[in-house]
Structure formats: C-alpha cells, structure tokens
Amino acid sequence: MNPLRTLMERLSRGRILKRHLPADLGSVPILVSPDAALSFWKTHTKSDLFDFAREFVKAGSVVWDVGANVGLLSIAAARRAGVSGKVMAVEPDIWLAALLRRSAAMQPPTSARIEVIPAAVFDSPAIATFNVAQRGRASNFLVAAGGSSQTGGVRETVSVLTITLDWLMEQGAAPDVLKIDVEGAERNVLLGAQRVLAEARPVILIEVYNDSRADVTAMLLQNGYKLYDWDATPRVSVDQASFNTLALPPGR
C-alpha cells in the first residue's frame, strides 16, 4: 500500500468540498468528498458522466442515477433536463445520500428537481447487508454482490433496504436515461428491471464486472439493445458488454 495514498485517504474521511460543474453545464454548485474519490481534492471537477449527460439528456428527460455517489450525473442531468425534467438519484450510503440532498437544494430553479432515494437496487425488495469500503465510498457494495478488489477492506457494515427498478417505475415516470454503477450487482439490478428494459427502453450507461458480463450482455441483447464500449475512442460497437457499456435501445 502506498503510504502517501493511505494518508490522503485518512485525511479525506468526512471531508466535504464545494465544487462547480463546467461552464457549459451552468457552473452549478455541487458538494463532493475525497472520501468518495481522491480525485475530488482537485479544484476542477471532471467526469465522463458529464459527457453522457451532454449527449443523451435533453429538456424534459427523466433520468435515473442508480448508484449516484455524490451525484455528478444527477446534478449535470438536472441542469440539462430543466424544469420540465426529473432526476431520480438512488444511493444506499446514507452519508452520500445526505450530501447529495444538500447539493440538490443548492441548484437553481432552472434545473430539474432531484429526488434522492436512500436505498440499494437489487432483484427483489429486502433488507440487505451493505459494506462501506475502507479506502473510498465509491467502492461501497452489497455483500450479496461481492464488490470489487478496490475496497481496501470494510470500515462499516450496515443494513439497507433494496428496491427494484420495475417497482420504481410503478411509482412514477419511466426513465429516458439510466445510469447503473452498483459494484457487482448489475446482473441483479437488470433482473429486477425486466419491464424497464422491455417497455421504457432507456439509454443505459452501465458498469459491468466480469462475473456478471455474460448475463448482462444476454439481458440487454434480448431486449434489442446495441452495445458500445463507452471508453473507446472512437466509439465502437461490441458483442459483449465492456467494463463501461453504453447500451442504446432500438431506433437510437
């Protein structure tokens, strides 16, 4: 373990910083924490999630941010969607969800309303065990999903409620745009989103771990999605889900 990185991670615990999105996204404010990712120590906030919002979120869009973390996509999408749009941010880490609520309250009246839901998404409703990662909250995970090798251990284990995306769609507007970043639970998230995939057919950006790659690929292809490697430049279509997969529904 790099001792400097370890020190920076310790100094990051509970630290909250105010940053702003790029000028073309209104320079709107956002509260971030290097406890989620050390890159937030930098004064300029950069993310490919901003590019995703720029390309696919339009005025009036309904956006679901599953595994919202500090809300980079949520805040950018709210700016892009405007007052006629809606953003649903789902985040099981209570500390991050509270931070995101504070950021949502800071947005201008021209941005879409951001609804923050403190829950995890899985294939069925339940009370589940959730681990807060030792190194950074971006690696938090449901125990049933396994998590990644980047956690550095577990600092806290808590109980969380799980919901399904199909249940969420029953509560209101279906998504036009959907981001899924759930640290290994993506297969289970899609299992609980069969109606979302078949009926709503949102544009999807999904992080896919190796263990779930075959199942995620099969579910998306069965619903007519075309897959692209989001990290490739120029963008290329793929037969199997990549680590960061852009999935476009028929007609896109």
Name the percent of the chain lying above pLDDT 90: 88
* CA distances to 30, 76, 127 from 45, in Å: 9, 12, 34
Identify the pLDDT of residue 1: 59
CA distance 78 to 63: 8
pTM of the model: 0.96
CA distance 121 to 188: 8
> Under a CB-based contact definition with an 8 Å cutoff, are residues 47 and 72 in contact?
yes
CA distance 18 to 33: 9
pLDDT per residue as tens digits for the range 127-141: 999 999 998 999 999
pLDDT per residue as tens digits for the range 50-96: 999 999 999 999 999 999 999 999 999 999 999 999 999 999 999 99
Is-cis flag, bond preceding 234, omega within 30? Answer: yes
Q: In what order do the strands lie in the sheet with 120-121?
A: 120-121, 154-163, 126-133, 141-142
User: What's 112's DSSP letter?
Assistant: P
Name the percent of the chain lying above pLDDT 70: 100
Element (H, E) at 217: helix 213-222
* The pLDDT of residue 210 is above 80: yes
Identify the pLDDT of residue 33: 96
What would the two tokens of residue 67 be? 């595994």
Residue-averaged pLDDT of the chain: 95
Choice between 46 and 79, residue whose per-residue pLDDT is larger = 79
Residues comprising the chain, all counted = 252
What's the structural domain count of the chain? 1
HEC secondary structure over 127-193: EEEEEEECCCHHHCEEHHHCCCCCCCCEEEEEEEEEECHHHHHHCCCCCCEEEECCCCCHHHHHHCC
Query: What's the CATH code of the domain at 234?
Result: 3.40.50.150
- Residue-number span of the structural domain to which 19 is assigned: 3-248
pLDDT per residue as tens digits for the range 185-197: 999 999 999 999 9
Task: Please report which confidence band the pLDDT of residue 2 belongs to, taking 50, 70 and 90 as the band edges.
Answer: confident
pLDDT per residue as tens digits for the range 98-135: 999 999 999 999 999 999 999 999 999 999 999 999 98
Where are any strands of DSSP class E within the chain?
17-20, 29-32, 62-66, 86-90, 113-117, 120-121, 126-133, 141-142, 154-163, 177-180, 203-207, 226-229, 236-238, 244-248
